[in-house]
Amino acid sequence: MQDWQRYALDMVEDQIVGRDVRDERVLEAMSLVPRHFFVPPEYAESAYIDRPLPIGEQQTISQPYMVARMSELLQGKTGMRILEIGTGSGYQAAILAALGFRVWSMERIGSLALAAQKRLHDLNFDVEVIHNDGRGGYPEEAPYDRIIVTAASARVEAEWDRQLAPNGFLIVPLNVTTGGQRLLVRENLKPGFRNTWYDYCRFVPLLIGVD
Ligand code: SAH
């Protein structure tokens, strides 16, 4: 993958800028993180195409556009604390670290958690991966300025609300009755929460317990 930087730039231009993501920091992060290291070797050549890809254990690395879109909606500032639920390959976590977030990321499948932690470490991304069911969040490091859920959920878990800093917000693909999901941004107004709905999308489901 000698030419990966050119592929990454093309990906940003065609798939991300082309669909109206304009946050310069997000565009830069997406062009600098080597996505081909986050997919199985047999998919390396396809790493920069406009699709989610299999990463084993029936899971997928999200489509580049969806990673960019969610990253833009987060409106991150350097040093903010973020909890990700659904580490998968670790790609979204790497983008968050590149954006200057302090990142904790939870994964319920042990083999994926282990592989992602090693990969992120080898690539020098400062991310802590936690092997556990993310429905309970990670109270040990709460509160978080942001929480990002990258698997489809039936509801907003009470623990996520609880672990959100004042004026912080979470973003989660919530199942909608028409099938598929829609991105929800939920802000902690303390007291109360404000919900705002964004794009329709399709993520693998949030599952119960650990494997
Ligand atoms: N963000 C990932 C893609 C997410 S795929 C990336 O950039 O590659 C969704 C991931 O969420 C899968 O790896 C799945 O195992 C994980 N997951 C599903 N339910 C979970 C739960 N309850 N807690 C933690 N992780 C979960």
Residue 170 falls inside a structural domain: yes
Pocket test for ligand 1, best of 138, 206, 208, 211 (most atoms within 8 A of CB): 206
Pocket test for ligand 1, best of 92, 99, 108, 208 (most atoms within 8 A of CB): 108
CA atoms within 13 A on the CB side of 47: 25
- The phi and psi torsions of 171 (rounded to 5 degrees) equal -130, 130
Q: Tell me the C-alpha distance between 42 and 117, whole Å.
A: 21
Tokens 């047999």, residue located: 42
153 bridge partner residues: 174
CATH number at residue 141: 3.40.50.150
Percent over 90 (pLDDT), the chain: 98
Write b or e for each residue in 28-42: b if 16 or more Cβ atoms lie within 10 A of its Cβ, otherwise e.
ebbbebbbbbbbeee
Is 159 a pocket residue for ligand 1 (Cβ < 6 Å)? no
Atom nearest to 211 CA in ligand 1: 15
Tokens 């929800």, residue located: 184
Residue 189 falls inside a structural domain: yes
Q: Using an 8 Å Cβ cutoff, are 130 and 142 in contact?
A: no
Positions marked catalytic: 62
Q: How confident is the model at residue 129 (pLDDT cuts 50, 70, 90)?
A: very high
- Taking only the tens place, the pLDDT of each residue in 63-117 is 999 999 999 999 999 999 999 999 999 999 999 999 999 999 999 999 999 999 9
Cis-peptide, bond into residue 52, ω within 30° of zero:
no
Residue 153 falls inside a structural domain: yes
> How confident is the model at residue 136, as a pLDDT?
98
Residue 19 falls inside a structural domain: no
Q: How confident is the model at residue 1 (pLDDT cuts 50, 70, 90)?
A: confident
Q: Six-digit token pair at 206?
A: 């949030």
Q: Using an 8 Å Cβ cutoff, are 125 and 97 in contact?
A: yes
> How confident is the model at residue 78, as a pLDDT?
96
- Taking only the tens place, the pLDDT of each residue in 13-68 is 999 999 999 999 999 999 999 999 999 999 999 999 999 999 999 999 999 999 99
Residue 160 falls inside a structural domain: yes
- Taking only the tens place, the pLDDT of each residue in 130-146 is 999 999 999 999 999 99
Find the domain containing 186 and state its range: 52-201
> How confident is the model at residue 161, as a pLDDT?
98
Residue 130 falls inside a structural domain: yes
> How confident is the model at residue 178, as a pLDDT?
87
Domains in the chain, number: 1
Residue 186 falls inside a structural domain: yes
Helix axes 64-73, 91-98, angle to 10 degrees: 40
Residue 7 falls inside a structural domain: no
